[in-house]
Structure 1
Amino acid sequence: MIWLVALPAPLVRTALSSTAATVKPIWLRRGNRRTSFTLPPPAPAEPSTSASWIIDIMSSVHGTESLLQMITVKAFPVVGSGEKAKDPIFGLTMGSGSQSPADVFRWFCVESGMPDNPPVLLVHGFPSQAYSYRKILPILSKDYHPIAFDWIGFGFSDKPQPGYGFNYTLNEYVSSLESLINSLGIDKVSLVVQGYFSPVVVKYASKHQQKLNHLILLNPPLTSKHAKLPSSLSIFSNFLLGEIFSQDPLRASDKALTSCGPYKMKEDDAMVYRRPYLTSGSSGFALNAISRGMRKELKNYVEETRMILKDENWKVKTTICWGQRDRWLSYDGVEEFCKDSKLKMVELPMAGHHVQEDSGEELGKLIMEIVGRRVQL
Structure 2
Amino acid sequence: MTITEELIEVGSLKWFYRNAEPVNPTDKPPVVLLHGLPSQSYSWRNVLPALAEYGFRAVAPDWIGFGFSSQPDRRDFAYTPDAYVEALAEFLEKLGIDRCSLVVQGFLGSVGLQYALRHPDRIERLAILNAPIMPEAKLPWKIKQMGIPLVGDMLTQDPLLVDRTLEGGGGYRVEDADLDVYRRPFLKSSDAGRALLAVIKNLQLSKVTAEIQSGFAHWNSPVLVAWGMRDPWLPFSLAQAFTQQIPGAELAQLEEVGHYPQEDWHEKVNDTLLTFLRRQIV
Query: Structure 1 residues 374, 204: closer, same or farther in 2, change over 3 A?
Result: farther
Is the contact made by 1:109 and 1:150 (CA closer than 8 Å) also made in structure 2? yes
Is the contact made by 1:195 and 1:353 (CA closer than 8 Å) also made in structure 2? yes
Secondary structure, aligned partner of 1:225: coil
- Determine if the alignment matches structure 1 residue 366 to structure 2 residue 272: yes
| Structure 2 counterparts to residues 138-217 of structure 1, below 5 A | 138-142=49-53, 143-163=55-75, 165-217=76-128
String of CA shifts for 1:265-298, please: whole Å, max 9, x gaps: 110011000000001000011011011011xx11
Q: TM-score, normalised by structure 1?
A: 0.71
| 1:293 equivalent among 185, 202, 206 | 202
Identify the residue that residue 226 of structure 2 maps to in structure 1. 321
Code of the aligned partner of 1:67:
T
String of CA shifts for 1:104-123, please: whole Å, max 9, x gaps: 21100111123944311111
Secondary structure, aligned partner of 1:322: strand
Q: TM-score, normalised by structure 2?
A: 0.94
- Determine if the alignment matches structure 1 residue 259 to structure 2 residue 168: yes
- Determine if the alignment matches structure 1 residue 135 to structure 2 residue 41: no
| Structure 2 counterparts to residues 1-377 of structure 1, below 5 A | 66-75=1-10, 77=11, 104-114=12-22, 116-117=25-26, 118=28, 119-142=30-53, 143-163=55-75, 165-226=76-137, 228-251=138-161, 253-294=162-203, 297-311=204-218, 314-342=219-247, 343-374=249-280
Is the contact made by 2:226 and 2:254 (CA closer than 8 Å) also made in structure 1? yes
* Superposition deviation, residue 246 in structure 1: 0.4
Q: What is the rounded CA distance, in whole Å, between the counterparts of 2:88 and 2:62 in structure 1? A: 11
Is the contact made by 1:225 and 1:330 (CA closer than 8 Å) also made in structure 2? no
* Superposition deviation, residue 375 in structure 1: 7.2
Is the contact made by 1:110 and 1:148 (CA closer than 8 Å) also made in structure 2? yes
- Root-mean-square deviation (CA, aligned residues, Å) is 1.6
Code of the aligned partner of 1:229:
L
String of CA shifts for 1:28-48, please: whole Å, max 9, x gaps: xxxxxxxxxxxxxxxxxxxxx
Code of the aligned partner of 1:238:
I
Q: What is the rounded CA distance, in whole Å, between the counterparts of 2:264 and 2:123 in structure 1? A: 27
Structure 2: any 5+ residue segments left out of the alignment? Answer: none
Code of the aligned partner of 1:307:
S
* Superposition deviation, residue 339 in structure 1: 1.9
Secondary structure, aligned partner of 2:181: helix
* Superposition deviation, residue 196 in structure 1: 1.4
String of CA shifts for 1:130-166, please: whole Å, max 9, x gaps: 0000110111111110111100000000001211x10
Code of the aligned partner of 1:304:
E
String of CA shifts for 1:302-333, please: whole Å, max 9, x gaps: 1110111112xx22211101000001112234
Q: What is the rounded CA distance, in whole Å, between the counterparts of 1:213 and 1:374 in structure 2? A: 12
Q: What is the rounded CA distance, in whole Å, between the counterparts of 1:334 and 1:110 in structure 2? A: 28
* Superposition deviation, residue 199 in structure 1: 2.5
Q: What is the rounded CA distance, in whole Å, between the counterparts of 2:16 and 2:110 in structure 1? A: 22
Give the length in aligned residue pairs: 277
Code of the aligned partner of 1:72:
L
| Structure with more relative contact order (C-alpha pairs < 8 Å, separation 6 or more) | 2
Larger helix share, 1 or 2? 2
* Superposition deviation, residue 263 in structure 1: 2.5
Is the contact made by 1:213 and 1:375 (CA closer than 8 Å) also made in structure 2? no
Identify the residue that residue 49 of structure 1 maps to in structure 2. none
Q: What is the rounded CA distance, in whole Å, between the counterparts of 2:141 and 2:253 in structure 1? A: 25
Secondary structure, aligned partner of 1:196: coil
Q: Which has the larger radius of gyration?
A: 1
String of CA shifts for 1:334-354, please: whole Å, max 9, x gaps: 313312323211110111000
String of CA shifts for 1:81-130, please: whole Å, max 9, x gaps: xxxxxxxxxxxxxxxxxxxxxxx211001111239443111111111100
Query: Structure 1 residues 217, 333: closer, same or farther in 2, change over 3 A?
Result: closer
Query: Structure 1 residues 223, 187: closer, same or farther in 2, change over 3 A?
Result: closer
